[in-house]
Amino acid sequence: MEGPLGGRACPGQKPTKQKENLPDGDSRDPGSQRSAYCIKVKGVVQGVGFRPFVHNLATSLELSGFVLNSTEGVLIHVEGAPPARLDSFIKRFSHELPPLASIECLETLQVEPQGYQEFTIRESFWAGGGYVLVSPDIALCPDCLREMEDTADRRYDYPFINCTNCGPRYTIIKNIPYDRPETTMAAFPMCSRCRAEYLDPTNRRFHAQPISCPWCGPTVWLVASKESWNPEWAEIRGIIPALDKARSLLKQGRILALKGLGGFHIACDATNEAAVRRLREVKRRNNKPLAVMCKDLQTASKFALVGPQEAALLTGSKSPICLLPKREGTSAICGLVAPGNKCLGVMLPYTPLHRLLFREGLEVLVMTSGNWSEEPIAAENQEALHQLDPLVDAFLLHDRDIHVRLDDSVVKVCSWGRAGCTKGQRFCAFSH
């Protein structure tokens, strides 16, 4: 199968003079002193800010060409003069990768310069038969958290804030290459302000595929279950009113189904013995430990022994459930959460929605999979409303579809210092 640069070439092979098989539309000025490289990259290079990184690196070195996603990874054509600039590009390209990117295979081939006048991000190229490693969903980054808590920011309290460094990836992708039309975010056309950020090379959201804001993105609402129908909260629309009611219900000892990144969680106040007992009864989960989500690392340290490696995992980009030794002498968390167990499964809020839920006094919630025992986690709204209704008092829903359902990963740091993934899938990158 040929790509947009013609036939495949092995690393180090120097082709004879041939014109690249490229779409028209670029201004070309051959230039006898220019050099050029074709670079093919495989690995976790889609959905991690890789194309913006390549664009900005090439632009900073005054090089021209293009970068695009393909069904085999990322394809780069870079050219310019003098040769030292290209050498610098190749060197920095390998050593300054975005933090979430990783290269599995790299092919570099010297080719004929085409005289491009600028460096652009091209439309993705589809070719059958390829595969791409897609990044897992990424926990909320510090920059987005800061914006979400800034009352002057237009994404203040917005539960779907994201950028090239965080947000949904694998669970929203329908097909490769990783572009917005191939994700569940295709249902939300960007407003003019989001599109301006998306197209701005200096912006943190440059080509961030899930980009959205309160004016153009997904929203949240709360509905009562049929089992616990109440006219006061039969249906509450709007992000702030729905979240306010969700917090209130949790404080009252109610049980909620909450739509997350890879599926639904069932949540209740972990300090409320009656709520935890009822959750165990309705879910038919007698003694199996339940995971908890703590407001922050300081709160987690009140209930469990958190070492440096566990702290790094909990606060890192993948934010799994960590199995931690219980701290002796603490009684705030109900004993029914993990009866007869020396460890506690702890995670921190890894989505903006989770962060917002922990306002106004909530510190620790049971956060268990939204399913009946031994069944797959619920991912679609109607599916959850049908299957989980007998288990919960209310549903906190949103309208960003989950295409791939994934449960939380469970990680334990072993005595020799390595972290082992014992359960779940959200921790890993996947081929697509």
pLDDT of residue 133: 80
For 49-151, strand residue ranges (E) read 64-70, 73-80, 102-111, 119-121, 133-134
Q: Which residue has the tokens 């990044």?
A: 135
Domain boundary among 104, 133, 162: 133
pLDDT of residue 31: 45
The rounded mean pLDDT for the chain is 87
Strand 220-224: give its sheet, edge to edge: 235-237, 220-224, 394-398, 256-259, 264-269, 364-369, 292-294, 343-347, 321-325, 410-413, 419-423
pLDDT of residue 121: 92
pLDDT of residue 432: 45
- Sign, CA torsion 85/87/92/97: positive
Domain of 50, CATH number, reads 3.30.70.100
Domain boundary among 133, 167, 188: 133
CA quadruple 274, 275, 281, 287: dihedral, nearest 10: -90
Three-state DSSP at 76 gives strand
Residue 78 lies in a domain: yes
Residue 417 lies in a domain: yes
Cα–Cα dist 326/277, whole Å: 20
Domain of 336, CATH number, reads 3.90.870.40
pLDDT tier at 2, thresholds 50, 70, 90: very low
pLDDT tier at 40, thresholds 50, 70, 90: very high
* pLDDT(269) > 80: yes
The answer to whether the peptide bond before residue 82 is cis (omega within 30 degrees of 0) is yes
CB neighbour burial string for 188-219, b if at least 16 within 10 angstroms, e if fewer:
bebeeebeebbeeeebbbbbbbbbbbbeebbb
Three-state DSSP at 267 gives strand
pLDDT of residue 423: 54
* pLDDT(139) > 80: yes
Displacement of CA 143 from its chain's centroid (Å): 15
Residue 270 lies in a domain: yes
Cα–Cα dist 396/51, whole Å: 35
Residues 276 and 418 placed together within one structural domain of the fold = yes
Number of compact structural domains in the chain: 2
- Number of Cβ within a 10 Å radius of residue 266: 24
Residue 12 lies in a domain: no
Residue 356 host element (H or E): helix 352-357
* pLDDT(215) > 60: yes
Q: Is residue 289 a contact partner of residue 426, using CB atoms and an 8 Å limit? A: no
For 261-415, strand residue ranges (E) read 264-269, 292-294, 321-325, 343-347, 364-369, 394-398, 410-413
Residues 367 and 229 placed together within one structural domain of the fold = yes
Cα–Cα dist 345/300, whole Å: 10
pLDDT tier at 12, thresholds 50, 70, 90: very low
Cα–Cα dist 174/122, whole Å: 20
Q: Which residue has the tokens 């990259």?
A: 41
Residue 192 lies in a domain: no
pLDDT of residue 321: 94
pLDDT of residue 424: 54
Residues 249 and 370 placed together within one structural domain of the fold = yes
Q: What's the per-residue H, E or C state across 192-212?
A: HHHHHHHHCCCCCCCCCCCCC
Cα–Cα dist 186/136, whole Å: 19
- Sign, CA torsion 268/270/273/278: positive
Q: Which two tokens stand for residue 266?
A: 């069932």
pLDDT tier at 58, thresholds 50, 70, 90: very high
Domain boundary among 133, 148, 180: 133
Domain that holds residue 335: 220-431
Instruction: Read off the pLDDT of each residue in 272-285 and give the average, rounded to a whole number.
Output: 92
Residues 95 and 227 placed together within one structural domain of the fold = no
Residues 293 and 393 placed together within one structural domain of the fold = yes
Cα–Cα dist 11/121, whole Å: 24
Residues 296 and 418 placed together within one structural domain of the fold = yes
Residue 225 lies in a domain: yes
Higher per-residue confidence, 431 vs 242: 242
Higher per-residue confidence, 274 vs 318: 274
Residue 199 lies in a domain: no
Residue 220 host element (H or E): strand 220-224
Residue 324 lies in a domain: yes
Spatial CB neighbours of 64, under 8 Å, sequence gap ≥ 6: 58, 78, 79, 80, 116, 117, 118, 119
Nearest in space to 62 (alpha carbons), one of 37, 82, 39, 43: 82
Q: Is residue 374 a contact partner of residue 368, using CB atoms and an 8 Å limit? A: no
Nearest in space to 75 (alpha carbons), one of 96, 110, 106: 106
pLDDT of residue 26: 42
* pLDDT(372) > 90: no
Q: How do residues 219-230 score in pLDDT, each as one tens digit? A: 999 999 998 888
